[in-house]
Amino acid sequence: MSTSLDKIIGPRAPEEQQAEDHLRYRLPTIFFLVAVVLLIASVFLPYWQMTLQAPQYPKGLSVQAYIYKLTGDVREIDGLNHYIGMRPLAEAAQLERSLSIVAVSTLSLLIVAAIFIHTKYTVLLALPAILYPFIFLGDMYFWLRNFGLNLDPAAPLSSAIKPFIPPLLGVGKLAQFVTITEVKSGFYLASIASVCIIIGLYFHRRAYKPLVDSQIEAENQAEDEFEQEQ
């Protein structure tokens, strides 16, 4: 095993030390694995929902956005959006949806890999999963803005509706239509996973930083002794 790889992976706690203080070294693994389970479970739940209310729809119309598909009253809302010149919802985030399962799988593998890295490089492996919920919201806002500001000027009601940005979260109103947008259970699971990772990183630093510091101190001492012998 190369020295460079050793520096990336970091030291291992002696078995007797792990036996004496096993919880100290298990806590990072526990929180990282919980985060993986939550992240994978979030795939099967909606992340975001838009509900459209109007006099002709007393029960409202709603669309749920999973990371890989749209469900709900997509066709009905597309029909309404056609009149104001907005493109079909399925045209948004096509690349993101096609790669979403691979992306979440990759994030999960990075978190698992972080369990075996006992140095500061653990943060680099965990950071993408921590930022994932914010990336999702940022991507949603990008597409809402893109669709709302690029209306088809040839649409039947184009002269009556000016370009607008649908709300990412909260309530918006356009003519007689009211939209209510909110995050759903999938997003909450991904966010809790991020919190678990942050907590895991705290316990990771608490467990392994003293070992890393001791290793560095020993290496420096060995170098000093070698230089004195020369």
* Number of CB atoms found within 10 A of residue 28's CB: 24
**Count of domains observed in the chain:** 1
Which pLDDT does position 157 carry in this prediction? 87
| CB within 8 Å of 11: residues ≥ 6 apart | 118, 208, 211, 212, 214, 215
In a domain, 9, yes or no: no
More confident residue, 111 or 23: 111
Who wins on pLDDT, 215 or 173?
Answer: 173
Q: What's the token pair of residue 220?
A: 């420096």
| Averaged pLDDT of the chain | 90
Query: Residue 20 pLDDT more than 70?
Result: yes
Residue 219 pLDDT: 62
| 224 inside domain | no
> What is the spatial distance between Cα 114 and Cα 119, in angstroms, rounded to a whole number?
9
For the entire predicted model, the pTM comes to 0.90
DSSP code of residue 154: T
The pLDDT tens digits for 125-138 are 999 999 999 999 99
Instruction: Assess if residue 6 is contained within a domain.
Output: no
Whether the predicted pLDDT of 10 surpasses 90 = no
Are the C-beta atoms of 106 and 113 separated by less than 8 Å? no
Is 67 contained in some domain? yes
Does residue 188 have a pLDDT over 70? yes
Q: Got the DSSP string for 83-102?
A: HHTPPPGGGTTHHHHHHHHH
Q: Is the pLDDT of residue 2 over 50?
A: no
More confident site: 158 or 139? 139
Higher pLDDT, 112 or 13: 112
User: Does residue 59 belong to any structural domain of this protein?
Assistant: yes
Cβ-proximal residues to 92 (8 Å cutoff; 6+ apart), any chain: 143, 146, 147
Q: Is residue 16 part of a domain?
A: no
pLDDT of residue 40: 98
pLDDT per residue as tens digits for the range 81-133: 999 999 999 999 999 999 999 999 999 999 999 999 988 899 999 999 999 99
Per-residue confidence (pLDDT) for residue 63, from 0 to 100? 98
pLDDT at 222 over 60: no
Q: Is position 155 within any domain?
A: yes
By residue range, what is the domain housing residue 151?
Answer: 30-219
Residue 47 inside a domain? The answer is yes
Do 197 and 30 touch, CB atoms closer than 8 A? no
